[in-house]
Chains A and B, each alone.
Chain A
Amino acid sequence: MKIAALQDESVLEGLPEPAVELKRVSRLYGSFVALREVSLRLPAGASAVLLGENGAGKSTLLKVISGLTAPSYGTVQIFGEPPQEQRGRISTMGHATMLYDDLTGMENLIYFAGLNDMGERAALEHIAAEALRAVNLDAANPRRVGEYSQGMRQRASLARALLAQPELLLLDEPFSNLDVGSAHSMIDRLLAYGSESPTRTLLLTTHQAALAQPLAQTTITMQAGSVVSVVERAGAR
């Protein structure tokens, strides 16, 4: 195991272009410091698990990386550019499903496939159906997402997140409210997704460290807005 002291920015110099690179990033909400001078570097193809107590800054860090929240100080680069320049290459799955409750799973996914420029109507339907099948949801299910169980909603949300085959996938507590079997199915899906391309990068937050172990090539621990340790599993790519 090796532990990198990433608060020291000098260790980041001279390395190949990473998927995620944060340099002294801070995020303030009024006087509250949600992120405190976080420097972090994830190589393309990494699979990392972000651990920490409630309020440690995990969700804020994911939002800053995705570009949904701007850092108050510091710089964020995704594949060498600001996250706002990488729309379509980044996808997130958060506490909210990011789906319309009054549309069916299929209608939602066709809509988002369209927004991701994934082809004409017939192609969109095929892609959406495949994405739903990959998370064990029935594409022909006429129920609206608002009528889904919590587990189905989370699987539909994962299908949406994976739909455009993003190169950087950010997942915020993806296993919360899932039974163990469903959580393992989701992990299998994420492992399969990561293995399809050597550059696909995955970063997820969880409180269930043991459950997420298969995805933890790198384990990052946060405390009070700071990254306190980065541990790489021996033999990880």
Chain B
Amino acid sequence: MSYAAHVWTHLRKDLRLEWRSKDSINGMLFFSLLVVSVFAIAFDPTAFPGISRQISGGLMTVAVLFAAMTALSQSWVRETQNGVLDAHRLAPAPLSALFVGKALANFLFVSAVEVVLAPVFAVFYNLHPLGQTWKLLVILPLGTWALVVNGTFFAALSLRTRNRETLLPLVLLPISIPALLAMIQATTAVLTGEFEPTAWLKLLLAYDVVFTMASVLLFETILNAD
């Protein structure tokens, strides 16, 4: 089987498991909608459309980030239950394919939440982007991939630790700052139309490439570490 076929095997399995349990999607949706609602209630976005455009990128990112975090730490639990991870370590399939498959699955889950969240956000915050809206279709997937690829990697890294739910945000948040900053700034650029998001997009793209490669290359080492 080719590497891509192995990735597809893992991805299909994760999608099937999520379809049956809906653990990640339900948790993320509930959490992110709660964040959006709380902020919408805390101040009246319709009264301050300028401010609303300024802060919406950050709010959306925070909602997605914290929602994703709940799912990411759970994504490896399925592999540790019943010792399935040991079966992976003994199989001849490349272990990094397991990582890529899981990162892709997490990306699809978080993206699905964003698809639901984005229109709710637009309505609650009365958003009318003044920049080129289509660029959000590039910014959001790139930013989501940055969160997901790092989150999936560090969730695997913290698998054998006692307080993995605590450790994951402690490790993930500082290392994700460049990606979060780029995602927020690029989104704000599109919403306000005050500046071009190109430089932030390039940063996001570079971040994605570097961290995806590093995660894929290091995954087998961290999985086999005692």
Q: Which residues of B contact A167 (CB under 8 A)?
A: none
Complex: A99 Cα to B88 Cα, angstroms:
11
Check B224 for interface membership: any CB of A closer than 8 A.
yes
Q: Classify the interface of chain A: helix, strand, loop or mixed.
A: loop
Query: Nearest B residue to A27 by beta-carbon distance?
Result: B226
Complex: A144 Cα to B88 Cα, angstroms:
20
**CB within 8 Å for A92 and B91 given contacts A100-B78, A102-B20, A115-B9:** no
| Known contacts A94-B83, A98-B86, A98-B87, then 6 further A-B pairs from the complex at CB < 8 Å, ordered by chain A residue | A68-B86, A97-B82, A99-B82, A100-B13, A107-B16, A114-B93
Q: 6 tightest CB-CB pairs across the interface, nearest first? A: A96-B83, A88-B92, A98-B87, A115-B93, A115-B91, A114-B9
Check B17 for interface membership: any CB of A closer than 8 A.
yes
Report whether A92 and B93 are in contact in the complex, using a CB–CB cutoff of 8 Å.
no
5 contacts between A and B (CB under 8 A): A95-B83, A97-B82, A98-B86, A99-B82, A115-B88
Check A91 for interface membership: any CB of B closer than 8 A.
yes
Check B118 for interface membership: any CB of A closer than 8 A.
no
Q: Which residues of B contact A77 (CB under 8 A)?
A: none
Query: When the two chains form the complex, which single residue of A68, A70, A88, A102 contacts B91, counting CB atoms closer than 8 Å?
Result: A88
Check B89 for interface membership: any CB of A closer than 8 A.
yes
Whole-angstrom distance from the CB of A61 to the nearest CB of chain B?
15
Whole-angstrom distance from the CB of B74 to the nearest CB of chain A?
13
Q: Which of A46-82 contact B (CB under 8 A)?
A: 66-70
Report whether B91 and A97 are in contact in the complex, using a CB–CB cutoff of 8 Å.
no
Check B163 for interface membership: any CB of A closer than 8 A.
no
Whole-angstrom distance from the CB of A127 to the nearest CB of chain B?
13
Check B161 for interface membership: any CB of A closer than 8 A.
no
Report whether A87 and B92 are in contact in the complex, using a CB–CB cutoff of 8 Å.
yes
Query: When the two chains form the complex, which single residue of A84, A92, A107, A164 contacts B224, counting CB atoms closer than 8 Å?
Result: A84
Q: Which of B1-30 contact A (CB under 8 A)?
A: 1, 5-6, 9, 13, 16-17, 20-21
Q: Which of B114-148 contact A (CB under 8 A)?
A: none
Report whether A100 and B82 are in contact in the complex, using a CB–CB cutoff of 8 Å.
yes
Complex: A100 Cα to B78 Cα, angstroms:
7
Residues of A bordering B, CB below 8 Å? 66-70, 84, 87-88, 90-92, 94-103, 107, 111-112, 114-117, 144, 160, 164
A84, A99, A102 — most chain B CB neighbours (10 Å): A102
Complex: A66 Cα to B88 Cα, angstroms:
12
Check B84 for interface membership: any CB of A closer than 8 A.
yes
Query: Nearest B residue to A88 by beta-carbon distance?
Result: B92
Complex: A70 Cα to B84 Cα, angstroms:
19
Complex: A79 Cα to B176 Cα, angstroms:
44
**CB within 8 Å for A116 and B13 given contacts A84-B224, A96-B83, A99-B82:** no
**CB within 8 Å for A102 and B17 given contacts A87-B90, A88-B92:** yes
Chain B 64-82, CB within 8 Å of chain A: the 1/0 string?
0000000000000010011
Report whether B1 and A112 are in contact in the complex, using a CB–CB cutoff of 8 Å.
no
Whole-angstrom distance from the CB of A75 to the nearest CB of chain B?
16
Whole-angstrom distance from the CB of B88 to the nearest CB of chain A?
7
Whole-angstrom distance from the CB of A87 to the nearest CB of chain B?
5
Q: Which residues of A contact B88 (CB under 8 A)?
A: 115
Query: Nearest B residue to A114 by beta-carbon distance?
Result: B9
Report whether A114 and B1 are in contact in the complex, using a CB–CB cutoff of 8 Å.
yes
Q: Which residues of B contact A84 (CB under 8 A)?
A: 224
Q: Which residues of B contact A112 (CB under 8 A)?
A: 87, 91
Q: Which residues of A contact B21 (CB under 8 A)?
A: 102
Complex: A67 Cα to B86 Cα, angstroms:
10
Q: Which residues of B contact A66 (CB under 8 A)?
A: 90
Q: Which residues of A contact B83 (CB under 8 A)?
A: 94-98
Query: Nearest B residue to A84 by beta-carbon distance?
Result: B224
Complex: A100 Cα to B85 Cα, angstroms:
10
Whole-angstrom distance from the CB of B22 to the nearest CB of chain A?
11
